Amino acid sequence: MSTMVPPLYAGLVDDASLLPPSPIGLTDGVAKYHEHTGAWYADLLGSLLVPASIVSTEPVPRMAAGLIGDVPAAALPVTVEKLRAAGLVIEHVEAAVARRGEDPQPGLDALRAFAAAERGLQLYAEIPLSWGLLAALDSVAEARAAGLAIAPKFRVGGLAAELFPTPVELAAVICACRDRELPFKLAAGLRHATRHTDPETGFTHHGFLNVLVATVAAANGGEVAEVAEALAATHPVPLVEPARAYRDGPRPLFVGFGAANVVEPLTELVRLGLINGGYE
């Protein structure tokens, strides 16, 4: 019979097929997302991620989606209202608050004001993994304590080696979120389940299963060294058993990540025996 995706993986993967450099248009992306949501693995899916800029060139679908705020921060409130008026139900908004090396506080202040005006709309503040990070996390924690629906998002990859944090660096970020009770999202670089080096670029990518197991370890009181050990694993063996042990519980802290093809992370989880392929 058909089986449900274990709770540990529920909503883990957002559909990022429309994000650059996407080869497909909005209509095709929406149709494919609907195919996924009708499949046996539907519970693995989070939101379809729609860049705000794409809707200026194509008709807006009447559906629910996560909005990627790739427009100036000042234009975000107006953009959200226009999209709602066109029929898009916005489940959450993800927006960068600064470039790498810039002070994230001004951008966070703007997003916090937006959150105050949009009570009930979940916002994710994309914070660079650079100078000012811990102070920014303190600001997010203060906003959440004040009742605002805001959480951090981090990019863990890109087009340069320095955009890939080391296991120790990412472990410190995860523990910092744990200490502040901050759920977080990740973007970029999470191409496979386990940590690996891309033979074309030479960049070493984090694995989404590494992050999941590392976050469970952090939530259970693990310190940076233990969390970094899980992030550094390049073989699935030390990751599979902890993942199986926690498969029936909710996923702590790690909200999820986006994948250009949601079938790829699904396939890897099936191959590792963590999802059984839909039947038992």
Residue partners of 113: CB distance under 8 A and separation at least 6: none
Q: What is the torsion angle, in degrees rounded to the nearest 10, for the CA atoms of residue 164, residue 272, residue 230 and residue 173? A: 50
Q: How confident is the model at residue 278 (pLDDT cuts 50, 70, 90)?
A: low
pLDDT digits (tens, 9 = 90+) for 115-166: 999 998 999 999 999 999 999 999 999 999 999 999 999 999 999 999 999 9
The rounded mean pLDDT for the chain is: 93
The set of residues, in sequence order, having a beta carbon less than 8 Å from that of 3 and lying 6+ positions away, is: 40, 276, 278, 279, 280
Q: How far is CA 226 from CA 26, 165, 170, 222, in A?
A: 42, 16, 12, 6
pTM of the complete model: 0.95
How does pLDDT run across 253-271, given as a tens digit for each residue?
Answer: 999 999 999 999 999 999 9
Token pair recorded at residue 90: 């916005």
